[in-house]
Amino acid sequence: MSSRSRERSRPTRDETKGKLLNAAAVLFAEQGIGSTSIEDICQAAGFSRGAFYSSFKTKDDIVFELLDLHFEMNQTEAERLYSATNSTVEYIEAMSSPDRRRTLPVDDIGMLYIELTLYAVRDGKNRKRLVERQRRDFAMMSDIVERIMADEGRTLPADLDDIVHLLMGLDMGLLIHALVDPETQDPKRWSRIVTTLHRLLDAAP
């Protein structure tokens, strides 16, 4: 085998980083961030500590890389589905579908998000970073609500910030409830509630 072939068989830096992120996501969701060491992540990904430190300085860095991926995934999917659907009801159903595209190999993405969020909230420095990301998510949701209203020729029946807080709070509340009592989980509940709220606009003065 030539040296050139051997070089091609080695994972690139991006591939190494991606495998470390995937391994961390699975471990964080399964056993929690506090119970997961850098050694655990390296072992699960099949790399040495040196490979980890070539991509990340600390475990905090990988936590926020995963949070960034989560927020970017939400924003990308929200925009993609908005362009791909023909009505608000269809869009709401698509947003809550389990068939939405994922960027992380985690079955319970909700558990991972809550774990990442709690970890960041408990530290002052990290909390500021989380606030920045959540505000971007809030701005994206606000923009979509305004576009929906414009497309339908409607005016908002309440303050925009209140509406977006309601939608985001509903999402988080249902997520936590499903984690506590998974037997009652209904993947269509969010879309049914939001669709009902949307239909109530017809009755708004």
Mapping DSSP onto H, E and C, the string for 136-149 reads HHHHHHHHHHHHHH
**CA 25 to CA 20: how far, in whole Å?**
9
C-alpha pair distances (Å), 133 with each of 100, 120, 199, 205 = 21, 11, 31, 35
Res 45: pLDDT: 93
Contact (Cβ atoms closer than 8 angstroms) between residue 108 and residue 29: yes
Contact (Cβ atoms closer than 8 angstroms) between residue 95 and residue 171: no
Cβ neighbours for 95, distance < 8 A, ≥ 6 positions apart: 77, 78, 81, 191
Please say whether the structural domain 58-203 has been given the CATH code 1.20.1510.10. no
Q: Where are the domains of the chain?
A: 1-57, 58-203
What's domain 1-57's architecture?
Answer: Orthogonal Bundle (1.10)
Q: Which two tokens stand for residue 173?
A: 């509340």
pLDDT digit string, tens, across residues 23-55: 999 999 899 999 999 999 999 999 999 999 999
Res 175: pLDDT: 85
* pTM: predicted TM-score of the whole model, two decimal places: 0.78
Res 103: pLDDT: 65
Low-confidence ranges of the chain (pLDDT < 50): 1, 4-5
Res 72: pLDDT: 85
Res 108: pLDDT: 73
